[in-house]
Chain A
Amino acid sequence: MSITTTPADTAVSAPPAAPAGGDTAPVRQDERLRALTRNPAARKLLVLAVAAAVLVPVAAATWGSGSWPHALTVDLSGPLGRANDWIIDNRDSHWLFLYFFGYISGGIIAAVHAVYTVLLALGWAGVAAGATLLAWRVAGVRVAVTTLVSFAVCGLLGMWVPTMRTLALMVVAVAASVAVGALLGLAAGLSDRTFRALRPVLDTMQALPAFAYLMPVVLIFGIGVAPAVLATVVYAAPPMARLTALGLRSTDKGVLEAVESLGATGRQRLLTARLPLARRELLLGVNQTIMMALSMAVIASVIGADGLGDRVYQALSTVDVGSALAAGIPIVLLAVVMDRTTAAAGAAGDSGRRTGGRTAWLFVAGATAAVALAGRALSALDWPGGWNVAIAGPVNDAKDWMVDHLYSGLPGVGGTADWAAHYTGWVLDPLRDGLQALPWWGALLLVAALAWLIGTWRTALTAVLALAAIGVLGRWDTSLDTLSQVLAAVAVTLVLGFAIAVPAARSARAERLLRPVLDVCQTMPQFVYLIPVVALFGVGRAPAAAAAIVYALPAVVRITSQGLRQADPAALESARSLGATSGQQLRQVQFPLARPELLLAVNQAVVLVLSVVIIGGLVGGGALGYEVVFGLAQGDLATGLVAGAAIVCLGLMLDRVTQPTKGGARDGS
């Protein structure tokens, strides 16, 4: 609520409030009332107060208090279960599956298999050489060295085969995502109507947790590689579509006019001006798509994608931190290598440096082939097992030591398990119980008021409908459990984030130290964050919250410190010249000026925390995430699907409630 307080708002309430029956001049009260009605935020508050005064007694009298009434729920598990049974029965016979879905999944499986075969044929030396040379051509020597080391580490950890499986899946998924996203973006970039129709859909899709995409594809395609790739494409294509459309739409109008004045046809305009000028956005789109695809390809291990994610998943389910780490490190390395390489490709266009020349690419291809052939001649295609370094054992030993020494009983500070227990007992439980004790209509009113205060009546309507849909789906209590975890984690994230961002914004040195850390943190897939928190806190809701906080923190720090630093230097200077202390500068100049960024940081914190809290179902986070995992594990798709729908609604509600401006650019990956 305090976020919505505008400078004008504080100015209104600045004079000491006159007692209502006091003898102050009525004229001044009049003025203050008028000032109140003129300020939009204050007007909204006034309307809300009136609405609450009328609605609350009525609602309380009609429905009483407590959880969502059973009469208003619709049990979907029956129909969904029947639909699932029908699909399973007809998967091998119905024309829809034989001639449409069958071809899709068959095509995907064939493509992944083909890429995997090529990777196998190249051998470990060929793949490593090819990737290194590619990185060298595109991004320079440093990234090439990083690539080489990364692939070597993947091999040394004994993860060569899973890495190749993940890579094969990634290649197919990224190619499909980029193609689909670019086509959608092209349509939205060229046609205003498509853009207006597509934009809210893409915005919403980017706010939803990855887990929500899993269930529908499983319903149709079952468990396996094909649904994993499809879920990845659905998750990773939106950024490409967004950025393609953005790039095409932001072409310099002067250049377009000049091109038109020379008599270019529409097609010539697109091919010679708009697309080349959008190069930067297109490559940024590819970069984001790759990062999201990797994130999803790892999560999709729960629906049958093998590879690194599967190893992490299996290890986590037995709380085998050592094995999880051995598979997690290659994921991080892949993420870093892919991010650096594609980011460098995007930056190369700006500085005018050419990435290629045909001879250079021929050299890359030729050298790769030569290394691959050499490997084949020496029959050294498979990674030599003798080189492997088993880290699982030592890591588990270290973890056991931690369990013995750090979990509890440390003098003065307690231990990690104690902290987790306290967080659960003193924060999560009261919050959850409080939310669940809230009368359901009260929750709806609260959400409506919040969303309306921050956004428009339209966002408020969407938020209320989404929350009501959760009730209708019969997931009221479970969702409030998830919500309590999200709210607590967001609060911690924001406190920590602001505490880090404020000094970082004020000191160039702190910012320089922080930047590489943030860069690495923001490229890592959500899944990976689960590994260290399980090592530190065991399983339960507290480690899920910890993973969520760690995952959301970099984005919050980055957005906040950027916002604070971008505050108009002239305004800051004038405040300094008037003798403002640094605290006054921060409170009276920087925070008000950075208000849009602060709101965006809150929004991002909510979206990112939710996505990890849901995945936390894998490490004992319970609630909605667990229901999805349970549905998958038990083959009870109906439960999983309903939980997935509730996740969508919760994500929609949270995003809308914290949506500060209509259509603010959001690009936190």
Chain B
Amino acid sequence: MNGTDGAGAPGSPAEIVGDGPVRGAAPAADGSVPDGPPAVFSVRNLWKVFGPKAERVPGSSLADLTPEELRERANCTVAVRDVSFDVRQGEVFVVMGLSGSGKSTLVRCLTRLIEPTSGTIAIDGEDVCGMDSGALRDLRRHRAAMVFQHFGLLPHRTVLDNVAYGLEIQGVGRAERRAKAGEMVEKVGLAGLEGRRPTQLSGGQQQRVGLARALAADPEVLLFDEPFSALDPLIRRDMQEEVVRLHHDEGRTMVFITHDLSEALRVGDRIALMRGGRVVQCGTPEEIVGSPADDYVRDFVRDVPREQVLTVRRAMRAALPGEEDAGPALTPATTVADAIETVARTGSAARVVDDGRCLGIVDHRSLLGVVAGLDSDGKAAA
């Protein structure tokens, strides 16, 4: 899954992620981060229950029942169960889980496309659940735009008019919105296809239109709901790189829903792993892969090539006297895979250097230990 060939991205995706401001910050129990940039979305104790009289379920004894019992007793289904997290400015926050884990419901609750049953959602400190329909429309128009798995394009409009659609319903004038839409079409690499209809495009191109439509409103947050699941693997890879590139260029906050672990690791700064409506673990890719919170997560990440996600921070040992000045230097964000290459090529141990200070040493033994999974859990480095 590693790629040193990321379009316009220096180094591997993991390294780009590593440049993010939150890397290494210790997560609090509820998924919020104590310091760093302010939270854009702040979700607390969110519940979504489908069924009659759903509002009586959260917090009651009904909530402790198994899904089958609950369906039998109250004819209700819990999609999101007591979820709390913060999405911080400028990060790519990935919610991942298998189908039926509640992730798509969760992202729809953020802009109340699905009305949450209980809990609070705040955008920039403003209560979303308390918004009237006008304020909510404003939020959807200007602050949070969404990209959908099945694109949701209007088949009777051209590419350009689809991209301009969001601006049109905001009441932007024809010339202005078309100019803006043209810019966006170019940005997502569809220049020349403005006059086509969505049905005349490939799946990847259609999703680029969906992306351009979301970008056209210049929203504060982009919400992606399994955007690339319907695409071929190769095109999916292209699109993931497109998102990484966009994020790198603009630094826009993104919430990204996926069921694909490698996709989550590739694009995510932080990942919330959901199961049965609950967030089972929330942390950086390195924390998820290196320190799974329970057996479910461990099982989930078992097949991930660890050396491509974990960094030398995790592999290094304290420097022995004399080692601090010799050998090649690596940044703490270097992946183990890249460090192995360096060490194999030079034949000697490498130093982990941050701001000219030597943090530690990685050698054959410590690097192989990571690949073999011998580094014990909980030994998060630094």
Contact = CB atoms under 8 A, between A and B. Distances in A.
A621 to B, nearest CB: 48
B298 to A, nearest CB: 35
A260 B113 contact: yes
A349 B154 CA distance: 13
Interface string B168-206: 111000000000000000000000000001011000000
Given A257-B152, A276-B154, A262 B197 contact: no
A272 B113 contact: no
Interface stretch (A35-43, A66-74, A263-271): A263-271
Contact of B169 (A272, A279, A349, A352): A272
A261 interface: yes
A262 B148 contact: no
Interface in A242-273: 252, 254-255, 257-265, 268, 272-273
Contact of A258 (B138, B152, B197, B200): B152
A264 B169 contact: yes
Interface in B157-175: 165-166, 168-170
Contacts of B166: 262-263
A264 B148 CA distance: 16
A651 to B, nearest CB: 39
B113 A262 contact: no
Contact of B153 (A258, A264, A268, A276): A258
Contacts of A254: 148-152
B199 A352 contact: yes
A310 B76 CA distance: 63
Contacts of B223: 261
A115 interface: no
Interface residues of B, number: 32
B145 A257 contact: no
A121 interface: no
B168 A261 contact: no
A382 to B, nearest CB: 44
Contact of A261 (B140, B155, B197): B140
Nearest to A258: B152
A100 B200 CA distance: 53
B53 interface: no
B140 A277 contact: no
Of B111, B137, B149, most A-chain CB atoms within 10 Å = B137
B40 interface: no
B236 interface: no
B145 A262 contact: yes
B113 A277 contact: no
Contacts of A276: 154, 156
B212 interface: no
A349 B156 contact: yes
Interface string B204-243: 0000001001000100000100000000000000000000
Contacts of B136: 263
A254 B166 CA distance: 16
B245 interface: no
Given A262-B141, A263-B141, A352-B197, A255 B153 contact: yes
Contact of A262 (B150, B151, B199, B213): B213
A260 B137 CA distance: 9
The secondary structure that dominates the A interface is helix
B151 A273 contact: no
A257 B113 contact: yes
A279 B154 CA distance: 12
Contacts of B142: 263
A248 to B, nearest CB: 15
A352 B157 CA distance: 10
Contacts of B337: none
B146 interface: yes
A348 to B, nearest CB: 12
B197 A272 contact: no
Given A268-B169, A276-B154, A349-B156, A258 B137 contact: no
A272 B168 contact: yes
Given A260-B140, A352-B197, A279 B146 contact: no
A255 B210 CA distance: 11
A263 B156 CA distance: 20
B111 to A, nearest CB: 6
Contacts of B145: 261-262
A261 B143 CA distance: 11
A258 B146 contact: yes
Nearest to B199: A352
B152 A259 contact: yes
A277 B154 contact: yes
A257 B145 CA distance: 12
A263 B153 contact: no
Contacts of B138: 263
Interface string A72-111: 0000000000000000000000000000000000000000
B211 to A, nearest CB: 12
Nearest to A264: B169
Of B113, B149, B169, B170, most A-chain CB atoms within 10 Å = B169
B152 A263 contact: no
A273 B169 CA distance: 11
Contact of B152 (A255, A265, A268, A272): A255
Nearest to B143: A263
A263 B148 CA distance: 15
Interface string A349-378: 100100000000000000000000000000
Interface in B67-87: none
A277 B213 contact: no
A450 to B, nearest CB: 37
B131 to A, nearest CB: 12
Contacts of A265: 137, 169
A262 B111 CA distance: 10
Interface in B98-135: 111, 113
Given A263-B138, A263-B140, A352-B199, A272 B111 contact: no
Interface string A374-406: 000000000000000000000000000000000
A263 B154 contact: no
A415 B171 CA distance: 75
A349 to B, nearest CB: 7
Contacts of A259: 152, 154, 165, 169
B154 A273 contact: yes
A234 to B, nearest CB: 32
Interface string B37-69: 000000000000000000000000000000000
A277 B170 contact: no
Of A261, A277, A349, most B-chain CB atoms within 10 Å = A261
B123 to A, nearest CB: 14
Contacts of A349: 156
B288 to A, nearest CB: 29
A263 B155 contact: no
A118 B149 CA distance: 54
A250 to B, nearest CB: 13
Given A254-B148, A257-B113, A352-B199, A262 B169 contact: yes
B148 A258 contact: yes
Nearest to B142: A263
A260 B223 CA distance: 14
Nearest to B111: A261
Contacts of A255: 152-155
A279 B156 contact: yes
Interface of A: 252, 254-255, 257-265, 268, 272-273, 276-277, 279, 349, 352
11 contacts: A261-B148, A262-B140, A262-B145, A262-B169, A262-B217, A263-B140, A268-B169, A273-B154, A276-B156, A277-B156, A349-B156
Given A276-B156, A352-B200, 6 more contacts: A254-B152, A261-B146, A262-B140, A262-B141, A263-B169, A277-B156
7 nearest A-B pairs in the assembled complex, by CB-CB distance: A258-B152, A263-B141, A263-B140, A261-B146, A262-B166, A263-B137, A254-B150
